[in-house]
Amino acid sequence: MPAVLAVLTAGLMAFHRAVPNSAGHLGSLLEAFLPWLGLVVVVLLVLALLRRSATALVALLLPVAAWTHLFGGMLLPGAEPGPHDLVVVQHNVSDENTDPAGTARALADTGPDLIALEELVPPALAVYAQTLAPDYPYRAVRGTVGLWSKYPLTGARLVDIKPQGIAETWSRGLRTVVHTPHGDIAAYVAHLPSVRVRASGLASSRRDESVGLLGKAIAAEDLKTVLLLGDLNGTVDDRGLTPLTSRMNTAPRGFAFSFPAAFPTARIDQVMARSATVRQIRTLPRTGSDHLPVTARITLG
C-alpha cells in the first residue's frame, strides 16, 4: 500500500494541472497546498521503514523527485544583492489591527524602497500615513490599498477589479508610476476577494473574476516594467492566478508562507514583476495582522 500511495502522490504533484477544476475548483484547492504533499512523503517513508518494504522505498523516489523538481529551488540561498535592486514589502495589515503605528514602524525599520499595504481603513490610515511619512514622503492610496515610496509617485489611479454581485463600495486596486533612479515603473497594488474552503470544494469564483480584470489591466499597461504587490488570496501554483502568473514572474526562492500568521500554511501575499526579476521572497516578523509581511528583492533592467 505505501508503494501505491507513493506513486499516486507523485502523480498528483507532477500532473496537478490535470486535476479538473470544473467541480468545486478542486484543482485550485490542490495547488494552494501543493508543497505540503511533501509531508505525505515523510509519512509514507515512516510506513515503508516500519514495514521494511524495499518496494515502497524505491517507489518513494518518485514523489521525492517530483517535489524536488517543483520546490527544490525554493530552498536554495539567495543571490548577492545587485546594483539595480529594489526592495519591496507587501503586507495586508488587517482592518482589525489594534497597533497600526507599531506595524508601520516595524515595516519601515526593514528599510525597503516601497511598502504596499491592504485593508487600510480609517482612522488607521491616518496613523500609517503619519508614521511612515518621515522615511516615505510619497504615497498613493485608493480605497483600502496604498503604496508608500522613497521615490516620487505620479499618475495614481483606481484600478477597477470589482467582481459582479458586490453592491457595496469596493475599491481594492491601485496603479501608480514610481520614478526610480533606474527608470519609471508601473506599480500595482491589489487586494483580491477572499476564497473559502467548503465541503463542496474551493469557493473562488469572485477571486478568479477579479484576477481576470487585473490581468487585463496589466496586459494593457504601456510602461515596460511593472510590479504587482498585493494580497491575491491565492498561491503562485494556483491556476486561478494564471492571468497574472502567465504575464509576470515570481520569486524562484523562498516559500514565505504568509497566512494565517499564527500558523502560516500558504503564501497568498505576492510580489510579481514584468520586465524585472523577483530574486527572492521571505517573510518578516509578525505584526498586529493575521497576515505576515513579505519582502522581496527586485532586479531591474
Per-residue pLDDT reduced to its tens digit, 216-272: 999 999 999 999 999 999 999 999 999 999 999 999 889 999 999 999 999 999 999
Collect contacts of 168-171 with beta carbons under 8 A, ≥24 apart. Answer: 169/143, 170/143, 171/142, 171/143, 171/144, 171/145
| CATH for 224 | 3.60.10.10
Phi and psi of 204, rounded to 5°? -135, 15
pLDDT for 79: 61
pLDDT for 259: 97
Q: Does 159 lie in the same domain as 227?
A: yes
pLDDT at 168 over 90: no
pLDDT at 165 over 80: yes
Q: What is the C-alpha separation between 251 and 224, in angstroms, rounded?
A: 19
The answer to whether residue 38 is domain-embedded is: yes
What strands, in cross-sheet order, belong to the sheet with 183-191?
153-158, 173-180, 183-191, 226-231, 269-274
pLDDT for 295: 97
The answer to whether residue 80 is domain-embedded is: no
**56-95: pLDDT as tens digits:** 899 999 999 999 999 988 887 766 666 668 999 999 999 9
Average pLDDT (96-111) is 98
Q: Does 100 lie in the same domain as 149?
A: yes
- The terminus-to-terminus CA distance of the chain in angstroms comes to 52
pLDDT for 82: 62
Three-class DSSP labels, 215-249: HHHHHCCCCCCEEEEEECCCCCCCHHHHHHHCCCE
pLDDT at 118 over 70: yes
Exposed (0-12), middle (13-18) or buried (19+): which is 74, by Cβ within 10 Å? Answer: middle
Q: Which residue has the cell 519601515?
A: 108
Range of the domain at 127: 85-300
Grid cell locating 56: 515502497
Q: Does 122 lie in the same domain as 243?
A: yes
End residue of a domain, out of 75, 108, 137: 75
Number of folded domains in the chain? 2
Q: CB of 38 within 8 A of CB of 67?
A: yes
End residue of a domain, out of 75, 96, 114: 75
Higher-pLDDT residue of 83 and 51 is: 51
pLDDT for 80: 61
In this prediction, what percent of the chain has a pLDDT beyond 90? 80
Q: Does 244 lie in the same domain as 101?
A: yes
pLDDT for 144: 97
Q: Does 103 lie in the same domain as 46?
A: no
Q: Does 140 lie in the same domain as 56?
A: no
Mean pLDDT of the chain: 93
pLDDT for 84: 60
Lowest-pLDDT range of 40-44, 190-194, 212-216: 40-44
Q: Does 117 lie in the same domain as 165?
A: yes
Q: CB of 160 within 8 A of CB of 213?
A: yes
Average pLDDT (180-192) is 96
Distances (CA, A) of 202 to 24, 36, 133: 5, 17, 40
Q: What is the C-alpha separation between 2 and 51, in angstroms, rounded?
A: 9
pLDDT for 83: 60
Grid cell locating 247: 504575464
Grid cell locating 159: 484600478
pLDDT for 198: 83
pLDDT at 23 over 90: no
End residue of a domain, out of 19, 54, 75: 75
